[in-house]
Amino acid sequence: MKLKITDMPSLLEYAHTVGGFSFFPTNEGQIKSHAREAMKEQTEEQLNLIFEQMKTL
């Protein structure tokens, strides 16, 4: 009796255990673009802080 059982749980579209969660396909290029923008902003903020500290010297 194989009721609600699968031989290949990695192919299911939903979590196959109570503690599991499902994975959804993502737009990898868009995620990388947002990450690059965030890193650029953080770098600019850090450089501005360094330049401000250098001005006081």
Is the pLDDT reported for residue 1 higher than 60? no
* Per-residue pLDDT tens digits for 15-50: 656 566 656 667 888 888 899 999 999 999 999 999
Q: Specify the pTM.
A: 0.49
36 versus 57: which is more confidently predicted?
36
Higher pLDDT, 2 or 28: 28
Alpha carbons 14 and 30: distance in angstroms, whole number: 24
Domain range annotation of the chain: 26-57
User: Is the pLDDT score of 14 beyond 70?
Assistant: no
Instruction: Count the alpha carbons within 13 Å of 5 in the hemisphere toward its beta carbon.
Output: 4
How far apart CA 53 and CA 57 sit, in angstroms, is 7
Task: Give first-to-last CA distance, the chain, whole Å.
Answer: 78
